[in-house]
Amino acid sequence: MNALTSMMLLPLLGSLLIAVIPNDQVLRIKQAALGTTLLIAISGVMAWFKFDAGNTSLQFVQISQWIPSFGINYAVGVDGLALVLILMSVLLAPIVVLAGWNESEGGRWSVKVFYILILVLETMMIGVFAATDIFLFYVFFEAMLIPVYFLIGGFGSGERAAAAVKFLLYSLFGGLLMLASIIGLYVIAGKHGGHTFDVGQLSELHKFMSPTTQNLLFLGFFIAFAIKAPVWPLHTWLPDAAAAATPGTSVLLLGVLDKVGTFGMIRFCLALFPDASKTFTPIILVLAVISIVYGAFLAIGARDIKRLIAYTSISHFGFITMGIFAMTSQGHSGATLYMFNHGFSTAALFLVAGWMISRRGSSTISDFGGLQRVTPVMAWSFFIAGMSSLALPGLSSFVSEFLVLVGTYTRYPVAAVIATFGIVLAALYILIPVQKALHGPTTPGNENLTDLNLREKIAIAPVIAVIVALGFYPAPLLNVINPASAHVIASQGFTDPVPSESAGK
């Protein structure tokens, strides 16, 4: 069977298995969930090794008719970009299950429901990146909102219901705009050679569109993705959702789901509407730069540790968006690598923050203090995750942030220069909480916190290993990403500007 299809079926089988385990056998349910996600992760890694990096066409392709009357196919396939994101998703899933071993308890519903939702979500996460039929993509894009909605609303904390609704309504609104654009594409395709939803065929369609049509259709897609990613000023749902969700859900939400937005920008906005993408590039770059700086300022001012991570992500998504619309191959490679790295550094931050919060019973930063003395392993883990988030050289995020800035500078120097301030601000928003929470004397209420147990250590170790390893040696990923990025840039009709000494003189 097709590698991607079987990876999508595995979680569904796992959720069926969990469904038949009796409710009171909590441990068995958790083991089944962990086993399934591990199995998928292994098949993801195997797909990674089978992938031919030098080949820029889609691989692991499967196309079967779904609704022939509308030209809708079940069509999956990956290029380097999609593969990297799928790999990230399937690697994060078992880590999330293991790290959040106990977060499924104490929700509105049983533990069983939690893991069924997680596994169904995993199917859709793989599907949304693998789909090469826009209709299929849309189905996953919308349907994956439902499990997340119940994960936030049913197992979160605080204002979870309100946060879940805000998340869902924002996303649905964007999704419906995208649906209008998809219908537009479908109708235009019908007039020029027959109804189809195949991304490859649709990307030829822009030649037949008037500039106005192309701009409107582009906006339908872009607004949907900008809500998802999220880009300022469509970001306000994210901090609420991240603060309310369990740490594991937050990892999947920020680490994986939000990447659908930036992935969609490359896969659909750029590929389908190259002219409109050029038209809107200046505006989008401005929004991206605002996101970088504004997100960083919000993060500096944040008092809640989960909100802080959400705000840093807004800043990071600004970098990714900037890298995408810089239209250089470095920028693109950087953005794609950034998506991967952000997944892992956010996972590390959220998971460690989740452990800190559950131990201390508070998510306010100022409640913590001197954790390094009491819980050294937890403190160091948080420290490394933080350093990765501020892109310390030697850690993975540095490579991607550097590539994005270099790639942007060659074409849009002003945007790159302003964005560089984001790095300075990043140092502030990470170092201030690190200083407050980890260093200094142990403040009252923190003396008796316990350090990470073995399960938690096992969960966080691979994340930190990835962060460090890719910081020193990003080549395995870049070897897959670079050809794909170069292909996208070339098919956009761009060539990389050659840096020259005289530039800027």
Partner 1 sequence: MEFTAPVLNYAQLAPILIVLGGALIGVLIEAFAPRASRHSSQLFITIASLVAAFAALVRVRNQASVDAAMGSVAFDGAGVLLQGSILIIALLSVFLIADQENFTALAAAVPGSSEERESLQRDLRVTEVYPLTLFAVAGMLLFPLSSDLITLFVALEMLSLPLYLMAGLSRRRRLMSQESALKYFLLGAFSSAFFLFGVAYLYGYSASITFAGIQSSVIGGSGNDVFLLLGIAFISVGLLFKVGAVPFHAWSPDVYQGAPTAVTGFMAAATKVAAFGAILRIYYVAFANAQWQWRPALILIAIVTMVFGSVVAIAQRDVKRMLAYSSIAHAGFLLAGVIALSKSGLDASLFYLFAYGIATVGAFGVVTLVRDSAGEVTDLNRWSGLGKRSPLVASVFAFFLLAFAGIPLTSGFIGKFSIFSAAYESGSTWILISGVLSSAIAAFFYIRVIVLMFFKDPVEDGTSVVIPSALTLTTIVVTSAITLLLGVFPAPLITFIESSAFFIR
The residue ranges that bind partner 1 (CB under 8 A) are 65-70, 108-109, 135, 138-140, 142-143, 145-146, 150, 153-154, 160-161, 164-165, 168-169, 172-173, 176-177, 179-180, 183-184, 186-187, 190
Which residue, 190 or 445, has its beta carbon nearer to partner 1?
A: 190
Which residue, 34 or 143, has its beta carbon nearer to partner 1?
A: 143
Smallest gap from Cβ 211 to partner 1, in A, equals: 16
Half-sphere exposure of 375 (CA within 13 A, CB side): 26
Among 253, 107, 41, residue whose Cα is nearest residue 167:
253
Smallest gap from Cβ 8 to partner 1, in A, equals: 14
Nearest-Å Rg of the Cα atoms of the chain is 22
Write the DSSP assignment of 104-115 as a string of letters: TTTSSS-HHHHH
Smallest gap from Cβ 426 to partner 1, in A, equals: 35
Phi and psi of 77, rounded to 5°? 170, 155
CB neighbour list of residue 115: distance below 8 Å, 6 or more residues apart: 15, 18, 29, 30, 32, 33, 97, 104
Smallest gap from Cβ 220 to partner 1, in A, equals: 9
**Contact by Cβ (8 Å): 288, 321:** yes
Give the C-alpha distances (Å, rounded to integers) separating 284 from 232, 299, 339, 497.
Answer: 10, 22, 18, 20
Residue environment code for 51-87, b if the CB has 16+ CB neighbours within 10 A, otherwise e: bebeebebbbebeeebeeeebbbbbbbbbbbbbbbbb
Which residue, 150 or 237, has its beta carbon nearer to partner 1?
A: 150
Q: How far apart are CA 388 and CA 342, in angstroms?
A: 9
Which residue, 72 or 251, has its beta carbon nearer to partner 1?
A: 72
- Largest pairwise CA distance in the chain: 72
Which residue, 172 or 486, has its beta carbon nearer to partner 1?
A: 172
Distance between first and last Cα of the chain: 58
Which residue, 50 or 191, has its beta carbon nearer to partner 1?
A: 191
Give the C-alpha distances (Å, rounded to integers) separating 471 from 121, 208, 329.
Answer: 29, 45, 20
Which residue, 53 or 180, has its beta carbon nearer to partner 1?
A: 180
Smallest gap from Cβ 186 to partner 1, in A, equals: 5
Which residue, 170 or 273, has its beta carbon nearer to partner 1?
A: 170
Smallest gap from Cβ 16 to partner 1, in A, equals: 16
Smallest gap from Cβ 19 to partner 1, in A, equals: 13
The three-class DSSP label of residue 75 is strand
Which residue, 264 or 474, has its beta carbon nearer to partner 1?
A: 264
Q: Output the CA torsion sign for 283, 288, 293, 298.
A: positive
Smallest gap from Cβ 139 to partner 1, in A, equals: 4
Q: Which residue has the tokens 């591990």?
A: 38
- DSSP annotation of 304: B
Which residue, 146 or 290, has its beta carbon nearer to partner 1?
A: 146
Which residue, 19 or 180, has its beta carbon nearer to partner 1?
A: 180
Residue type, 489: I
Dihedral angle of Cα 129, 130, 132, 138, to the nearest 10 degrees: -50
Tokens of 59: 């691989």
Which residue, 176 or 465, has its beta carbon nearer to partner 1?
A: 176
Residue type, 104: S
Smallest gap from Cβ 3 to partner 1, in A, equals: 22
Smallest gap from Cβ 300 to partner 1, in A, equals: 33
Residue environment code for 338-364, b if the CB has 16+ CB neighbours within 10 A, otherwise e: bbbbbbbbbbbbbbbbbbbbebbeebe
Smallest gap from Cβ 183 to partner 1, in A, equals: 5
- Preceding amide of 462 cis, omega within 30: no
Smallest gap from Cβ 153 to partner 1, in A, equals: 5
**Contact by Cβ (8 Å): 329, 496:** yes
Which residue, 27 or 176, has its beta carbon nearer to partner 1?
A: 176
Strand partners, 78: 59
Smallest gap from Cβ 43 to partner 1, in A, equals: 24
Strand partners, 74: 64
